[in-house]
Structures are given as structure tokens and as C-alpha cells.
Amino acid sequence: MVRAILSTPHFRFIAVFPILTEAVKNKDYNLIAHLIETQDPYEIKRVKMPVMTSASSPNLVASDASSRMIGCVCEPVADAINWMELVKGDPVKCYCGHWFQLVSYEEYFRRVNCPSAF
């Protein structure tokens, strides 16, 4: 039996996908939300938090929804996740002392790209 193989890729079938950084530069927030959703549809990736957070400088959570459930692993050796519901508006404090705030994508990228403005 002889098997035929193809050693060169067919580039005509490869789709060109938009890059997240280009979407951020163009301020295309719908595309940003789509890219993030397709890369992590349930938004369950772990995020490393800063050492210190406060009510005036919370961990920002971007979402188009008006509320969102998040989980905080308060200690590296913790065997439980502390769940809390964030609602757009005021920051919320976790049991461990970290602060979280739900914001729109537009607000998130504005504050992340210009931290000195706050």
C-alpha cells in the first residue's frame, strides 16, 4: 500500500484572524470581547493579582454584562475558591482583602493603558 503525503501547506484555506492588540489599538471593543470569548469562552483563566489592592486601586474585571461571578483563590495553597458576584459600580472586597471591580471593556482598557490618570 502506498500513501500519498502533502509536504507543503495550503495557505488558501488558512483564515487570517484578527489580533487582539490590533483590536485594542483600533478601540474595536466588540471585536475585543469576541476574541477574548473565543479564546476563553467561560472566562476561567487564572489571573495573577497584584500584591496589594485597595478600594481606589482594585483588580479590574472587564465584562459587557451587568454582573459576573468570579472566584478568588485567596492563598496559593488554598483548596477552596471564594466565589463572589460583582455588579458594575463600586469595588467589592474579598475575604482575603483583595478588591475587585466590574467595568466595561472600554473603561478597562482606558484605565489599564493610562494608570497615571487615576
Numbered residues of the known binding site for Zn(2+): 72, 74, 94, 96
Bind-site residues: 72, 74, 94, 96
Give helix 29-39 / helix 105-113 axis angle, nearest 10°. Answer: 90
C-beta of residue 86 within 8 angstroms of C-beta of residue 79? no
C-beta of residue 44 within 8 angstroms of C-beta of residue 83? no
Helices first, then strands: H and E counts in the chain: 3, 5
